[in-house]
Structure 1
Amino acid sequence: MSETTKSTEHVKGVARELVNDATDSLATGAREFKDHYVSEPAKDLFGLAKDYAKEKPEVAAVWAFGLGLIVGWKIKPW
C-alpha cells in the first residue's frame, strides 16, 4: 500500500468514528429530551388534574360536561 492510500484510510476511519460518536451523542440527547420535556410534564399535568378533581369534584364535573358538549357538538354527524 502506498502512503497516500494509508493516509486516506486513516482519515476515513477517524471520520467514521467522529460520525458514530456524534450520532450516539444525538441519540442520547434525544432520549433525555423526550424523557424530561415530554413524559414528565404530561405526568405532572395528569396528576394536577386528578388532585384538582379530588379537591373540587363539582367544578371538575362541570368542566368535563362542558368539554364533552363542545367536542360532541364539533363532531356531530349531521
Structure 2
Amino acid sequence: HFETAGEDYLVDIDGSGFVGSIAGGVLGAGTGFTAGFKPAQFLWRVPVAGSYLALGTLGLTTVAGVYIGAREGWGDGGFW
C-alpha cells in the first residue's frame, strides 16, 4: 500500500518474495510513470531544457515506483 502524487494505490502482493518483488516492480513502474506524466507534460513546454526536464521527471518517478513496488512485493524477507 503506497501513495503517489496524492493518489492512493493498493498493492496486494506483500510478502511474496522474489516473484512478488518483480511483480511489484512492474506495477510500481506503471504507477510511477502515470504519476509523473502530468508534471512532465507541463515541463515539456519550458524553452530549451524542457524536454530534458520532462524526461528526467518521468525517469525519476518510474524508478521510484519500481523501487517502492519491489520493496512492497518482497515483504518481510529482510532484503530491503
Q: Same fold (TM over 0.5)?
A: no
TM-score by length of 1: 0.36
User: RCO greater where, 1 or 2, for CA within 8 Å and sep 6 or more?
Assistant: 2
TM-score by length of 2: 0.35
In terms of Rg, which structure is larger? 1
Of Structure 1 and Structure 2, which has the larger fraction of its residues in helix?
Answer: 1
